[in-house]
Amino acid sequence: MKKALKKLILAISPILDILAAPLVLAGALFFKVIRRYGIARLNLCRRIFWAVGVMPVTDHYYDPFFRKEELGHPPGRIGTCLESI
In the chain, where are the structural domains located?
Answer: 2-73
pLDDT level of residue 20 (50, 70, 90 thresholds): very high
Q: What percent of the chain has pLDDT over 70?
A: 65
Instruction: Name the residue with higher pLDDT: 57 or 43.
Output: 43
- Looking at every residue in the chain, the average pLDDT score rounds to 78
Alpha carbon 51 to its chain's center: 18
Q: How many CB atoms lie within 10 A of CB 34?
A: 17
Q: Is 67 exposed, middle or buried (0-12, 13-18, 19+ CB in 10 A)?
A: exposed
pLDDT level of residue 17 (50, 70, 90 thresholds): very high
pLDDT level of residue 38 (50, 70, 90 thresholds): confident
Instruction: Name the residue with higher pLDDT: 66 or 32.
Output: 32
